Structure formats: structure tokens, C-alpha cells
Amino acid sequence: GAVVSQHPSRVICKSGTSVKIECRSLDFQATTMFWYRQFPKQSLMLMATSNEGSKATYEQGVEKDKFLINHASLTLSTLTVTSAHPEDSSFYICSARESLALITEAFFGQGTRLTVV
């Protein structure tokens, strides 16, 4: 299957700083990428859908100014958690869907464990 690389896998940052998480599709072009947040022992909650070359679509309740998403190319989307606070600590996972595919599976990155201290 296709590979999605997410970096970093773990990050610890101080409260008030910003953290950038990268999501890359390594062997396919992804018009659409998705960002999820997962709390311990819970399911994945979709935060936003990232479309290459356009603004991301955020789910209800997700602060767009806190979670900045950029999808500048067909293989890279970034999530920046701005002015992070301890309550932003979570597991963030990206996924990518291959372009031009009407029905296709989504491939997932390995996730990023963010800890804000």
C-alpha cells in the first residue's frame, strides 16, 4: 500500500509555543489530506480536511486560528498548533487519499504524540 510519513512522532513543547507537524505522501499524490485528533482510549475525531492549494475545511468546534493547516503541495500538508497549552496534548494523526480516485482507502501516518508542558 501507499506510504504516508508523519513527522515528528513525538514532541514535547512548552506552553505558549507553536509546534508544526508534517504529513507527507511518499509514493502517491494526495489532493486531500485529513487531520485527526485522538484522545487516550478514544476514537479518531476529524479536525479538518486539507485540500491542496485551497483553505482547509474545519470541523465544528475546531479552532482554525489555533490549528493552522497548510497543504502547499500534492505530497505535503502541515498542521501547526499555535500557542499550545496543556489541553492541546494529544495524539494527532494524518491521512491522505490518492488523487483522482473516487473510491479509495485512506492511508494513515504513524501519528504524532504532542505533550505540552
Partner 1 sequence: AQSVTQPDIHITVSEGASLELRCNYSYGATPYLFWYVQSPGQGLQLLLKYFSGDTLVQGIKGFEAEFKRSQSSFNLRKPSVHWSDAAEYFCAVFLLVGARQLTFGSGTQLTVLP
Residues that bind partner 1 (CB under 8 A): 1, 4, 6, 34, 41-44, 46, 49, 91, 93, 95, 102-103, 105-111, 113
Nearer to partner 1, 79 or 93 (CB): 93
Shortest approach of partner 1 to residue 83 CB, angstroms? Answer: 26
- Lookup result for grid cell 485527526: 36
In angstroms, the CA 37 to CA 99 distance is 23
Nearer to partner 1, 3 or 72 (CB): 3
Per-residue CA distances from 96 to 4, 12, 14, 33, 72 (Å) = 7, 25, 29, 4, 14
